[in-house]
């Protein structure tokens, strides 16, 4: 008989032996919290060419939020890194402004990552 991972340890030791039991697993809705780029005052200077309504469409992970494994992100604090595919142990730390690709319209995402081809940018709403 096989036991699930959570059942491998007696109840009194389970939390100590598996403190981050579901870390890195993607189940259900995203486990991270966001605020908008509009709410991050430090980003106003970096994204000064974007209107306020566009800044409000850019979700930025709150410090301490876990990135979803396999999902694509872009760190507005370090744009030179380009797009990254998150690993299960990644957490938004201080000084990072991770934007989840899955929550941004494609034309706006392309603008954020530096695409300058008008065809790929399309109309920004």
Give me the pLDDT at residue 86, please: 96
Closest CA to 58 of 30, 100, 95, 29: 100
Give me the pLDDT at residue 122, please: 76
Give me the pLDDT at residue 98, please: 97
Residue-wise pLDDT for 40-69, tens only, equals 999 999 999 999 999 999 999 999 999 999
| Averaged pLDDT for residues 26-34 | 64
Closest CA to 92 of 59, 64, 72, 58: 64
- Using alpha carbons, list the distances in angstroms from residue 10 to 3, 29, 100, 123: 12, 29, 37, 57
Closest CA to 37 of 101, 97, 107: 97
The tally of CA atoms less than 13 A away on the side-chain side of residue 28 is 3
Give me the pLDDT at residue 24, please: 52
> Could you please report the per-residue DSSP string of 73-86?
EEETT-GGG-EEEP
Domain-by-domain residue ranges, the chain?
A: 28-121
Closest CA to 103 of 63, 52, 68: 68
Q: Residue 5: pLDDT above 70? A: no
- Give the predicted TM-score (pTM) of the model: 0.73
CA quadruple 68, 69, 70, 74: dihedral sign: positive
CA-based radius of gyration for the chain? 18
Give me the pLDDT at residue 20, please: 63
Q: Residue 30: pLDDT above 90? A: no
């Amino acid at each position: 008989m096989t036991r699930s991972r959570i059942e491998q340890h007696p109840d009194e030791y389970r939390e100590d032996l598996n403190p981050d039991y579901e870390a890195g697993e993607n189940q259900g809705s995203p486990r991270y919290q966001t605020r908008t780029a509009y709410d991050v005052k430090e980003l106003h200077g970096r994204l000064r060419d974007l209107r306020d309504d566009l800044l409000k469409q850019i979700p930025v992970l709150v410090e301490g939020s876990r990135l979803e494994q396999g999902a694509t992100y872009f760190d507005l604090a370090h744009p030179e890194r380009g797009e990254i595919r998150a690993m299960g142990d990644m957490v938004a730390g201080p000084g990072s402004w991770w934007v989840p690709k899955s929550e941004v319209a494609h034309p706006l995402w392309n603008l954020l990552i530096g695409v300058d081809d008008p065809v790929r940018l399309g109309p920004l709403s």
